[in-house]
């Protein structure tokens, strides 16, 4: 199994005729994702690459194709409107790749998405991939392999590095999820950990956090109280100069709570083995699987 996407996922690409949308739509189709529709206002009735119908609205796409998931590649100024539109159309999963979405826009979109019973991943995220099943977003399909390890990360490129290290050592993944580094996101660590715990084919989890905020500490407490599967972790930003703002918009240290040292301390107190380097996660997961 996998989490959040599976063989029944029918994907609509919002912004499919744009530069990023068209490039990644082709990548998702090539990987085997069931891309059933695209949306670009004013271009309804066209087809993308001769096979994927393009609609003016997500509602039209859902009605005609039965799409149940959406991925968003539109400029930041229009991203929240795209999220609202997808939620209104009744899709179950909305993945917003767009970065630079104003926090105020995300603040308005999140409760609406939840009210509609949908899940939002992102914004400012690489999406997710279930090896051998499909991908929604920009995660590179050539570095993954099917297997028992779930991966959840705030960092996009660090997600790629960790996946590559696992695959290179012969350890495959059940699902890899990049949740995004903005201060407000739709799906957090705990949401993913809960899903991995319920997935019978996920036997261990690697969690990649970073400085700023307290989401990692909350996740660590969830692991301590509710996870039966081994969880290992890595915190990016351990060498960040004191007092300097680094990385994502969410990587803002407030007092001592958001520091790498505090997060590592809480991880260890909650039974999460912590890697010094991303590559060290492989050995920690391998030990967990064997144990």
| Catalytic residue numbers, as ranges | 248
Sheet strands side by side (includes 11-14): 47-48, 52-55, 35-39, 11-14, 69-72, 93-96, 119-121
The residue with tokens 């499919």 is 16
Is 286 buried (19+), middle (13-18) or exposed (0-12) by CB count in 10 A?
middle
HSE on the CB side for 111, CA within 13 Å?
3
Is residue 56 left, alpha or beta, with left meaning phi > 0 and alpha meaning psi from -120 to 50?
alpha
Report how far residue 254's alpha carbon sits from residue 214's, in angstroms, rounded to the nearest whole number. 9
What angle is formed at CA 272 by the lines to CA 183 and CA 194, rounded to 5 degrees?
A: 60
Token digits of residue 17:
């005729």
Token digits of residue 275:
């890697």
Whether a cis peptide bond, with omega within 30° of 0, leads into 120 is: no
**Contact by Cβ (8 Å): 242, 252:** no
Please report the sign of the dihedral spanned by the C-alpha atoms of residue 247, residue 73, residue 125, residue 23: negative
């Amino acid at each position: 199994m996998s989490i959040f996407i599976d063989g029944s996922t029918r994907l609509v690409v919002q912004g499919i005729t744009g530069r990023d949308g068209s490039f990644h739509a082709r990548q998702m189709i090539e990987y085997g994702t069931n891309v059933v529709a695209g949306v670009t206002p004013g271009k309804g009735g066209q087809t993308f690459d001769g096979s994927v119908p393009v609609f003016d609205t997500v509602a039209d796409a859902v009605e005609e194709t039965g799409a149940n998931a959406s991925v968003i590649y539109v400029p930041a100024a229009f991203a929240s409107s795209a999220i609202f539109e997808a939620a209104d159309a009744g899709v179950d999963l909305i993945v917003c790749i767009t970065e630079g979405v104003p926090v105020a826009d995300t603040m308005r979109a999140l409760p609406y998405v939840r009210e509609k019973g949908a899940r939002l991943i992102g914004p400012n995220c690489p999406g997710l991939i279930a090896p051998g099943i499909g991908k929604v977003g920009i995660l590179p399909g050539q570095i993954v392999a099917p297997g028992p390890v779930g991966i959840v990360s705030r960092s996009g490129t660090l997600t790629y590095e960790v996946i590559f290290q696992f695959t290179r050592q012969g350890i495959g993944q059940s699902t890899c999820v990049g949740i995004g580094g903005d201060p407000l996101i739709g799906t957090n660590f705990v949401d993913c950990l809960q899903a991995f715990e319920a997935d019978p084919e996920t036997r261990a989890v690697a969690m990649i956090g970073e400085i700023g905020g307290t989401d990692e500490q909350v996740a660590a407490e969830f692991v301590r109280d509710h996870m039966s599967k081994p969880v290992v972790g890595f915190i990016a930003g351990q060498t960040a100069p004191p007092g300097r703002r680094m990385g994502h918009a969410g990587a803002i240290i407030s007092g001592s709570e958001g520091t790498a040292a505090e997060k590592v301390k809480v991880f260890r107190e909650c039974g999460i083995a912590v890697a010094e380097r991303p590559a060290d996660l492989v050995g920690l997961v391998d030990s967990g699987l064997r144990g």
